[in-house]
Amino acid sequence: YSFLRAVGRRCTKSTLVKGIDIPEDTVIMVDVMSLHFDPELWGPVDPNEFYPPRHEVKRNPLAFMAFGNGPRNCIGMKFAMLELKIALCKLLLNVEFSPSSNTPKNLELTEIFVRRPKNAFEILIKRR
């Protein structure tokens, strides 16, 4: 899940996209969440479902923009990815996660400034 819903960029030259004329200097907002869950980009299985084989397909690098893209992407991206991998490895080595009977099958999200679960939910964590 991306931290922000949209990423803004300025169009550097007049462009035509799917029949829409975008003049130079127009600010374009990319709806990152819609991009990340677009069935045309992430199908054939529902993008909301866990389906690891979907990542075996080579996709346009702009299909995933959690950290933005290009020269103005997140300056902390490499550090954040490294930190995330280390934390995940430590957790997976030491604890086991499983859903509880109260864990919802579909996660509902709410958004004010950042995205978060709409309601609290339970997961079970057991030391290995």
pTM given for the model: 0.62
| CB-CB contact of 95 with 123 (8 Å) | no
68 Ramachandran zone, left/alpha/beta (phi>0; psi -120 to 50):
left
- Residues 50, 93, single domain; the answer is no
- Residues 58, 95, single domain; the answer is no
Q: Note the pLDDT tens digit of each residue in 5-62.
A: 788 889 999 999 999 999 999 999 888 888 888 999 898 898 888 899 998 989 888 8
Distance CA 48, CA 28 (A): 26
Q: Note the pLDDT tens digit of each residue in 62-87.
A: 888 888 888 888 889 899 999 999 99
- Residues 99, 111, single domain; the answer is yes
- Residues 18, 65, single domain; the answer is yes
SS3 128: coil
Give the domain range for residue 114: 75-128
Give, for 96, the enclosing helix (H) or strand (E): strand 95-99
